[in-house]
Chain A
Amino acid sequence: MSIKPATLFDKVWDSHVVRKIEDGPDVLFIDRHFIHEVTSPVAFLGMESRGLKVMFPEKTFATADHNTPTINQHLPVADPLSANQLKALETNTGKYGISHWGLGNPKNGIVHVVGPENGITLPGMTIVCGDSHTSTHGAFGAIAFGIGTSEVEMVLSSQCIMQPKPKKMRISVNGKLGKGILPKDVVLYIISQLTAAGATGYFVEFAGEAFENMSMEGRMTVCNMSIEMGARGGMIAPDETTFNYIKGREKAPKGEAWDKALAYWKTLKTDEGATFDKEYVFNASDIEPMITYGTNPGMGIGITKSIPTAEAAGGSKSSYEKSLQYMGFHEAEPMLGKKVDYVFIGSCTNGRIEDFRAFASIVKGRKKADHVTAWIVPGSHIVEQQIREEGILDILTEAGFQLRQPGCSACLAMNDDKVPAGKYAVSTSNRNFEGRQGPGSRTLLASPLVAAAAAVTGVVTDPRELIA
């Protein structure tokens, strides 16, 4: 009997369909559910008003991240609204017996950082969270995507959500990446080629040598930004790199359970002959350090290039002009040399130890530019600990930087880490939307190396010029 070749995505999705509704969505079983303080309170309220209970509390994990301060976390949270949300998360998780790593807990951190680093995220799982960057967990060969609060309520009360099965896209990047080119550059390059809506309606598999050679942290950075090309999520087939990363982590399977899981995980790859609805192939050698110049993540260019004209950029001319006007930029201007006021390294995109190592590699022996305000925000307490243990903190301190405490911070500026109106921030986060980092803020998305180069020179700088 021959079995029809299947994609990685099909294998994971199909094994989680509880029921197929004719001319409707699939009822999809969810293995792991992450919740945080911002998108969960109304879900708990909804459940209570219907008299429902949490069906599998052991499959949901809570952390506080979106709304938390990044200094003085030992003090009471000053903003009463933020404090109220944190309290609601604590109360709700306590009431239903859900694991909760709140502010001050040594396991606390950004939801998409702590899930993988504690072995909660595993290959072949379905994973959801009320946050669009849940796509991060796809790096492990999981189907992971963001959901709304109504869906959070569904997962809490029934461990399922209802989703139409997306179409399938494969994006291959062949060849080796050049010096100073990080996973962030790879994904910003892909988004610039596909546009911010180029993968809407699709679930993406990233394949090819560039991803095979990437660390798990790099793969997380790439999958994290799948949503920025419109895709519901992105995934990468698990391999030895994946298994080595997971093995021994706190909540990863052990002993016999590990062997059994591993045997299954090794089957999680796209079969030869399996087909995709759409395919893109890129060459790693075409990618240079990237930077965005506009107000969506698709508006990115190689750092040595000039801002495209409206004509070359395509799409609506008035929307393009509105975007450049917001940024205070003009068509055909170079990006190199533009003044930078703020630098932010952190977020679920680039808040892991490799990101801080990269940042430190350029900062080492240099000084922070006087006019630059820098926010250095680890993705979790575990990352913060690594930064201290590896001597990175000493390098940062020597160069005039301060380390803050973990959280989402200036990525979405729900807390006090806000970029003032009109100021320019080179940010390792994921979105450059108008006002994303504070009302009127202007964001240039880039890699940790580009962020470091901007932090020490005070202007947009090609990091390759500073690499020894």
Chain B
Amino acid sequence: MAYDQFTILRSTAVPMPIENVDTDQIIPARFLKATERKGFGDNLFRDWRYESDNTPKKDFVLNNPIYSGKILVGGKNFGSGSSREHAAWAIYDYGFRCVVSSFFADIFKNNSLNVGILPVTVSPEFLDKIFTAIEADPKTELVVDLPAQTITIAATGESESFDINSYKKHNLMNGYDDIDYLQAMKEEIKQFAEKSIY
């Protein structure tokens, strides 16, 4: 599925300073019953966001109107657990384009890149700075510059660089995905398959 190209994103951010946010919290299993990819944003963080009678929980950050933006900032080990890509779909569908944390679970990170969300890994110190800045001023803007591979707190100019391999960077900046790439090398794959013993 095609996604929006990603170059430079300047946005306010939603802070979620909780460690080990797992994909069951991002999208509980009972919302995985669709056969199409749509509407997952409505159930993003469902059980943290709503009471069992569907009234919004006032103390949850997504229900607090002072926080908004296209960037989600999470605690250490974000996206652990299940491989459900629905977690990344829910985050994208809700309107986030970038998730920042000091540490991501592997499968979630892959899934994010495959659906057009940029996972930005920062140092624990810089993560603290971001949380502190947003706490002091919810209107704090972050600038995520993919071509330059930097993330900056706009007001103070404090900045850190982040890693991404050049293949994935190129894909995100152009809206390409791995399926396009693999289709272009089918002959090579076919020859490889002929040697397989399985």
Contacts and interface: CB of A to CB of B under 8 A. Distances in A.
A195 B196 CA distance: 37
A132 B107 contact: yes
Nearest to A79: B33
Interface string A201-232: 10000000000000000000000000100101
Contacts of A153: 179
Q: Which of A42, A46, A130 has the most CB of B within 10 A?
A: A42
Contacts of B36: 41-42, 45
Interface string A183-211: 00000000000001100110000000000
A151 B114 CA distance: 8
B150 interface: no
Interface in A251-291: 260-261, 264
A52 B183 CA distance: 9
A412 B20 contact: no
Contacts of B188: 18-19
Contact of B185 (A18, A230, A413): A18
B85 A149 contact: yes
B95 to A, nearest CB: 20
Contact of A435 (B47, B88, B103, B182): B47
Contacts of A230: 77, 80, 105-106
Nearest to A412: B29
B24 A435 contact: yes
Contact of B19 (A25, A145, A319, A440): A319
Interface stretch (B65-73, B139-147, B163-171): B163-171
B189 A197 contact: no
Interface of A: 18-19, 21-25, 27, 29, 31-32, 38-39, 41-42, 45-46, 49-50, 52, 55-56, 59, 66-67, 79, 81-82, 84-85, 88, 122, 125, 130-132, 134, 145-151, 153-154, 157-164, 166, 196-197, 200-201, 227, 230, 232, 260-261, 264, 295-296, 315-316, 318-319, 322, 412-414, 421, 431, 433-436, 439-440
Interface of B: 1, 17-20, 22, 24-25, 28-30, 32-37, 47, 52, 75-77, 80-86, 88, 103-107, 110-111, 114-115, 165-168, 177-179, 181-183, 185-186, 188-189, 192-193, 196-198
Given A81-B33, A318-B17, 20 more contacts: A31-B196, A31-B198, A39-B32, A41-B36, A82-B33, A85-B35, A132-B83, A148-B114, A150-B111, A151-B110, A159-B193, A196-B77, A197-B103, A296-B22, A315-B19, A319-B19, A412-B24, A412-B29, A439-B28, A440-B52
